Amino acid sequence: MAIGPADYFSGRAQTYRRESEGWLWGRLRRIELRAVLELLRPREGELILDAGCGGGYYSEALMREGASVVGTDISREMLRQVHGATGLPVFASDLEHAAARPVFDAVASLGALEFCQSPGEAVLGMAGALRSGGGRVVLMLPARGWGARLYRYYHARHGVAITLFSVQELKRMAESAGLRITEARKAGFNHVVRMEPAGEAGMR
């Protein structure tokens, strides 16, 4: 039976953080985190939105770098868990309707976009959350291949549908949102992609 991402992640909220520290998942997350930090390049005092913060793994890493972080997630129970564990300021919303004010130096959305029904709208909302005159968005999405197929199969067995798309498809979404991809790299089974406002970002 199909269930929505909010119900699915709320059902896993109490054990999610512990499970994510397991041997294989924890190892993969450390690989991904290196790529995220290298592309996001958080700085002391910056305000960063963690869009789809889940259990707060990446939020905590960004806070250790000196950034101020606000988390949003579709699961209220997940937000209660992460706020209780870290004190992270949070608000509940799906990515398509987060309606964050344009005050953030950066937006990170790491392993959440594939659960959106309208990923293009989500990317547009992330672009709209950036402060005037700059900022950057870093996304992490499954890289197509056998790892992504297993990932989709795992969630399908739990009744949750995900959408897999390529970096080129993300590029088109970014352009529609006034962004352009400036860096992309493989990290484990995922791609980590940096986007910046079009016209201000130089290709690297």
Stated as kind and residue range, the H or E segment containing 113 is none
**Residue 200: per-residue pLDDT:** 58
pLDDT tens, 134-180?
A: 799 999 999 888 888 888 998 898 889 898 889 999 999 999 999 99
pLDDT grade, residue 99 (50/70/90)?
A: low
* Distance (Å) of CA 120 to CA 7, 59, 65, 69: 23, 23, 29, 24
**Residue 51: per-residue pLDDT:** 95
Stated as kind and residue range, the H or E segment containing 84 is helix 76-86
DSSP 1-46: ----HHHHHHHHHHHHHHHHTSHHHHHHHHHHHHHHHHHH---TT-
**Between 202 and 100, residue with greater pLDDT:** 100
Long-range contacts formed by 81-86: CB under 8 A, 24+ apart: 81/13, 81/14, 81/16, 81/17, 81/55, 82/17, 82/53, 82/54, 82/55, 82/56, 85/17, 85/56, 86/56, 86/59, 86/60
Average pLDDT over residues 34-45: 96
**Residue 23: per-residue pLDDT:** 64
Q: Which domains does the chain have, with CATH numbers?
A: 5-197 (3.40.50.150)
Closest to 193 (Cα-Cα) out of 158, 128, 141? 141
How do beta strands 136-142 and 106-110 pair? parallel
**Residue 203: per-residue pLDDT:** 39
Residue 201, pLDDT above cutoff 50: no
